[in-house]
């Protein structure tokens, strides 16, 4: 399942101080299907905010999120088909591992048997249309009322026209649960003139009123709490509603519009359809939309899924334990199993390794990579640890202050960073940065001429970045004069700490072969051209 973010923006407003934080700014990225993509950046750059918007836990200020072709921007988290794993495993302490993993399955509704079809008609030009019949569900967010409004003939005709015209942006046809869901604004956009109609609708049709607290006041804090009773409004409630509506206090939205011509099937037809679906699902669904019943999972099905997932994350021997009887790494595996058991379309991991010690981090990171490859689930992995992101990801997205800096394969981002920020963020030890200039096409650090810049590069002040592994010694062609201050032996390599006036840090580090003979004091270093990265001094963008 490909994930596409289109101009995704999140602005947090602080009402008291009238401040705003642009946590995510115009993010425009595509995460290829079946890949593991690392979202990488320093603390506060908007990684978690991006992840929470993808999960549906946070609403974007603007922009859109697509899973495949489906626009999920306004779909609730439960319906998006995501598995989420957080830094703190958030397991239920009183439940066994088995129960923790089984928990998301208990109320899961899965597709049951086919029980109806929608068959669009095809005109001579090959365009499909449906004879719409349907209802609009209207939600009044102020009073927490919902009303189902059956569409009139004229409205149906209008809707049918729009359904035909797929390019009309007001209409999105979602073929999920095998219904046509047509989001429309024709009533909401003309809200003023619809007031009378709205009062009539909400007060006379089927509606749902909120749960009342002990004082008899409606509990209004969460829309999920509203659906407790269906009854007609009292006179007082109607008066209050009318009054609020007149004073512009009522916030009404059209939640969805369902339009379909559904034909119920006989048992014989159902059986025939089941056979067709088994034989060739693509053919069976090509020119019709099949409606299914919903059902809960059977006990045995839950059991099998839990065992299958536990095996996948290798915790099948721990199923009877409680979370407190597990190590951190084992707890995180349980959390991952719990996220995977529902077979999500997308797996979202928010710093999942932060609470583990160094050894377990490495081990669990390899585990996540294996799981991701085995399940093929599109995965987004948030981390501020560049090494972690580099080692695990097919691609990484580097972010800074809510803005994407670069997206590519890890090695490519390391070798060819697009700007100084990315170059500095990737690599341990970090890249060494020097003040330099290009003069008559030659690249200089102070008085030391390194090499000629490519032909079309203009003279300018630059930052010269040299990766620690980009130095040579003892060969002819030394170009960079420096002062060795300290030598650290690392085994296969040695690390030499040097000083140079033009370095933007007090010292810089070169990593070279341990066989090299280096002494404290003056040295002339050579540089490997492909490890030297040059950035404009003002824009910090890459020059070459």
Site residues for ligand ATP per CB under 6 A: 12, 21, 23, 41, 43-49, 384
| Distance separating alpha carbons of residues 385 and 390, to the nearest angstrom | 9
405's CB contacts (< 8 A; 6+ apart) are 41, 398, 399, 418, 419, 421, 422
Using DSSP, state whether 279 is helix, strand or coil.
helix
How is the chain split among helix, strand and coil, in percent rounded to 5?
30, 35, 35
- CB of 45 or CB of 390, closer to ligand ATP: 45
- CB of 56 or CB of 104, closer to ligand ATP: 56
- CB of 5 or CB of 433, closer to ligand ATP: 5
- CB of 321 or CB of 384, closer to ligand ATP: 384
**The pairing of beta strand 36-40 with beta strand 395-400:** parallel
- CB of 21 or CB of 536, closer to ligand ATP: 21
Q: Quick check: 404 and 31 in contact, CB under 8 A?
A: no
| Distance separating alpha carbons of residues 506 and 386, to the nearest angstrom | 23
- CB of 48 or CB of 309, closer to ligand ATP: 48
Partners of 510 in beta bridges: 496
Q: Quick check: 312 and 371 in contact, CB under 8 A?
A: yes
- CB of 265 or CB of 382, closer to ligand ATP: 382
Nearest approach in angstroms of CB 85 to ligand ATP is 15
Rounded to the nearest 10 degrees, how much is the dihedral formed by the CA atoms of 206, 260, 292, 208?
-10
Nearest approach in angstroms of CB 22 to ligand ATP is 8
Peptide bond before residue 250 is cis, with ω within 30 degrees of 0: no
Q: Quick check: 373 and 338 in contact, CB under 8 A?
A: no
Q: Quick check: 6 and 24 in contact, CB under 8 A?
A: no
Measured in whole angstroms, the distance separating CA 215 from the mean position of its chain's CA atoms is: 42
Cα torsion angle, 54, 57, 58, 59, sign:
positive
Helical segments of 205-298, H only: 235-246, 267-279, 281-285
- CB of 48 or CB of 379, closer to ligand ATP: 48
Nearest approach in angstroms of CB 465 to ligand ATP is 24
Nearest approach in angstroms of CB 33 to ligand ATP is 24
């Amino acid at each position: 399942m490909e994930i596409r973010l289109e101009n995704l923006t999140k602005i947090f407003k602080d009402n008291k101080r009238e401040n705003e934080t642009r946590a995510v700014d115009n993010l425009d990225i595509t995460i290829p299907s079946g890949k593991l993509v690392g979202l990488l950046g320093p603390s506060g750059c908007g990684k978690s905010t991006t992840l929470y918007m993808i999960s549906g836990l946070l609403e974007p200020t603007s922009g859109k999120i697509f899973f495949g072709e489906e626009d999920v921007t306004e779909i609730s988290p439960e319906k998006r088909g995501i598995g989420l794993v957080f830094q703190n495993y958030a397991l239920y302490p009183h439940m066994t591992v088995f129960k923790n993993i089984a928990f998301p399955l208990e109320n899961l509704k899965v597709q049951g048997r086919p029980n109806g079809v929608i068959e669009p008609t095809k005109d001579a030009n090959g365009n499909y249309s449906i004879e719409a019949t349907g209802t609009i569900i209207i939600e009044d967010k102020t009073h927490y009322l919902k009303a189902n409004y059956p569409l009139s003939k004229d409205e149906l005709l209008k809707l049918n026209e729009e359904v035909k015209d797929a390019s009309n942006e007001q209409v999105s046809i979602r073929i999920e649960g095998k219904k046509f869901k047509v989001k429309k604004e024709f009533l909401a956009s003309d809200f003023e003139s619809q007031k009378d109609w709205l009062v009539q609708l909400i007060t006379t049709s089927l509606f749902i009123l909120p749960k009342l607290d002990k004082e008899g006041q409606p509990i209004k804090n969460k829309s999920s709490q509203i659906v407790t009773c269906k009854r007609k409004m009292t006179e007082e409630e109607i008066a209050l509603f009318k009054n609020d509506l007149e004073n512009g206090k009522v916030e009404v939205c059209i939640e969805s519009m369902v339009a379909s011509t559904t034909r119920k099937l006989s048992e014989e037809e159902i059986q025939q359809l089941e056979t067709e679906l088994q034989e060739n699902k693509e053919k069976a669904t090509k020119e019709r939309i099949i409606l299914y019943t919903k059902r809960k999972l059977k006990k045995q099905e839950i059991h099998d899924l839990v065992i299958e997932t536990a095996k996948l994350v290798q915790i099948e021997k721990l199923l009877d334990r409680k979370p407190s009887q597990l190590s951190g790494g084992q707890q995180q595996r349980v959390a991952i199993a719990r996220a995977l058991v529902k077979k999500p379309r997308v797996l979202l991991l928010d710093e999942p390794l932060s609470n583990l010690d160094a050894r377990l981090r490495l081990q669990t990171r390899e585990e996540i990579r294996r799981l991701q490859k085995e399940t093929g689930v599109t995965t987004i992995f948030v981390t501020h640890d560049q090494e972690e992101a580099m080692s695990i990801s097919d691609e990484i997205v580097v972010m800074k202050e809510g803005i994407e800096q670069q997206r590519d394969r890890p090695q490519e981002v390391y070798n060819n960073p697009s700007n100084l920020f990315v170059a500095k963020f990737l690599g341990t030890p970090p890249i060494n940065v020097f003040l330099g200039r290009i003069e008559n096409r030659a690249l200089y650090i102070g008085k030391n001429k390194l090499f000629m810049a490519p032909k079309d590069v203009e003279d300018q002040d630059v930052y010269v970045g040299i990766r620690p592994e980009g130095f040579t010694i003892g060969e002819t062609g030394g170009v960079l004069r420096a002062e060795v201050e300290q030598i650290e032996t690392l085994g296969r390599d040695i690390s030499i700490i040097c000083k140079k006036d033009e370095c933007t840090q007090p010292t810089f580090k070169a990593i070279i072969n341990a066989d090299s003979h280096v002494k404290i004091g003056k040295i002339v270093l050579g540089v490997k051209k492909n490890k030297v990265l040059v950035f404009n001094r003002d824009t910090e963008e890459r020059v070459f």
